[in-house]
Amino acid sequence: MLLFAGNYRYSLDEKNRVIIPVKFREVLNAENIDKLYVVKGDSHLFLMPFPVFQELYEKLKNWDFTKEANQNYVRLLFSDAFDVTPDKQGRIMLRKEMCEEAGINGEVIIIGVLNRMEIWAPDRWNDFREKSTLQGFSANLDVHSQQ
């Protein structure tokens, strides 16, 4: 089962590589997953195991592409996405321009979010945490009715 939780702080090395947390690598290894996709988000980077990226593809390929908003969403999501395979030390290389757009420079916070990971610049992660509450989000979710 793909389940990522927790947050970890790491530094990018001189080649713009970052290590995937050991706990996350254990999850990937247990599922025999070695390919990941890096996808640009609005304020961070998504790090999706290949099966999760494939599920996303399967959902989005059936969207109505006569709608401009659908076209634009898929363009933005897939145009900068790229696959990576961790090296023997568990490191992946991030594209410099994607890091710059996400405000990543030097240190990162890698968080687990259900079946994917996210890579944040520490200041953007801290800003998000300061402005966000579970209660504030849960008011807009219908989590209890799906039991």
Please indicate, yes or no, if residue 61 is contained in any of the structural domains.
yes
Exposed, middle or buried: residue 27 (CB in 10 Å: 0-12, 13-18, 19+)?
buried
DSSP letter (8 states) at residue 20: P
Q: What is the CATH number of the domain that holds 12?
A: 3.40.1550.20
Please indicate, yes or no, if residue 48 is contained in any of the structural domains.
yes
- Ordered mean pLDDT values, 10 residues apiece, the chain (147 residues): 93 95 96 94 93 87 76 79 95 94 94 95 90 58 52
Please indicate, yes or no, if residue 145 is contained in any of the structural domains.
no
Please indicate, yes or no, if residue 99 is contained in any of the structural domains.
yes
Please indicate, yes or no, if residue 146 is contained in any of the structural domains.
no
**pTM of the complete model:** 0.84
| Integer Cα distance of 135 and 147 in angstroms | 19
145: number of Cβ within 10 Å: 6
For residue 102, what are the domain limits? 4-132
Q: In angstroms, how far is the first alpha carbon of the chain from the final one?
A: 20
On whether the CB atoms of residues 65 and 73 are closer than 8 A, the answer is: no
The per-residue pLDDT for 143 is: 53
Q: How many domains does the chain have?
A: 1
The per-residue pLDDT for 7 is: 95
